[in-house]
Amino acid sequence: MLKNLGKYLFMIELGYKYIKIFRQTYFHPFITQKYAYQELSKARQAYSNKVLDFLNIKIKVIGELPKKDKILYAINHRSLLDILVMENIFSRQNKSGTWIAKQELFDDPIYGKFFQYSGCVSVDLENKRGLLTFFKKIKKTLAKVDDLNIYIFPEGERFSGEGVKELQSGAAKIAKANNLDIVPVYINDKLEQVFKSAPYKDTYTVEVHVGDIIHCENLQEQYLEFYTSIKESKQ
């Protein structure tokens, strides 16, 4: 009980400290959008690395991130740890990017400001006008920020079952509309359970697979092929 309470208090207290850091960049009147996303990405990565260090979780990457930017990273979704794990990986190559997140996360009384001020982009899947505004914002931002990557969970929500849930169409549509290559990523662990058991006395290692660049056509089939190749390599 105390173990669980301690990690939540640590994350929330640290999160509020970083909201103040995010705000300085988010509301800065004189910096470019490109510089803002770079600084917000660095701050998110610093927050994520501190939390993972506290939980005593390390990340093992199998595969390589592409050197070029303006990539859409399609990532499976299991836990709130997923973002922290990926930010740790992005920090190793100084990648800057923005997360696509549901509007309900921005409305959360505890984490809402963290998502808003850290440079994430909200999308309201139930609002057609909101979707149009969202796609316009992404296109406009990518036109101004030449090194921005897009991070998205194409399953749409956390999935606790085996394998990968059917992917929603949003990731492919964003990639097609903005001529983005897609990199599939698979976090090969049940991170919800990993988080429940943390912090660890002995370091716990999470395995993350990064695939080769694919294109938006037939994303579902290509992602499943990527997932299948991972599982077959483990047999």
Residue span of the structural domain in which 66 resides: 2-234
Q: CB of 131 within 8 A of CB of 139?
A: no
Say what the pLDDT of residue 2 is.
59
Say what the pLDDT of residue 158 is.
77
Tell me the torsion sign for CA atoms 222, 68, 231, 82: negative
- Per-residue pLDDT for the chain (235 aa), expressed as one digit of tens each? 556 788 999 999 999 999 999 999 999 999 999 999 999 999 999 999 999 999 999 999 999 999 999 999 999 998 889 999 999 999 999 999 999 998 888 999 888 999 999 999 998 877 778 788 899 999 999 999 999 999 999 988 777 767 788 888 889 999 999 999 999 999 998 888 999 999 999 999 999 999 999 988 889 999 999 999 998 887 6
Say what the pLDDT of residue 1 is.
56
**What global pTM score does this model have?**
0.94
Say what the pLDDT of residue 163 is.
75
Give the count of domains, the chain: 1
Say what the pLDDT of residue 5 is.
83
Could you tell me the CATH number of the domain that includes residue 122?
A: 3.40.1130.10
Number of C-beta neighbours around residue 209 at 10 A: 19
| 119 torsion bin: left (phi>0), alpha (psi -120 to 50), beta (else) | left
